[in-house]
Amino acid sequence: IVSLISLAVLSYERYSTMVAPTEADASNYRKISQGILLSWLYSLAWTLPPLFGWSKYGPEGPGTTCSVDWTAKTANSISYIICLFLFCLIAPFLVIVFCYGKLLCAIRQ
């Protein structure tokens, strides 16, 4: 999850640098640190709920790794999987598409 969120944050940073180049400063590590922290905290917020009862983790594949229990048919598990899909896959994907789409339009002008 954190990798996709980090890509969304990176695409937003590139977009904001292109839109407002006067605010872009290579030595501004605070903004970079905030982006990294945001991506990790967002990912943590979406990976902790199964530990507290919203869905659950279980063995995956040959049993060497664990992941969300994708086969559970309870309303609790289904709602978590839908929210995980929307907020950890669709939302970051839309941010990436929007930011790079705007960058492409700006470059073509």
Per-residue pLDDT at 29: 78
Which element (helix H / strand E) includes 91? helix 91-108
Six token digits for residue 36: 């990294």
CB 57 within 8 A of CB 50: yes
Backbone torsions φ then ψ of 60, nearest 5 degrees? -125, 145
Per-residue pLDDT at 17: 83
Q: Note the pLDDT tens digit of each residue in 24-79.
A: 566 677 888 898 999 999 999 999 999 999 999 988 888 889 999 888 899 999 99
Query: Can you give the residue ranges of every domain in the chain?
Result: 2-108
Note the pTM of the prediction, 2 decimals.
0.84
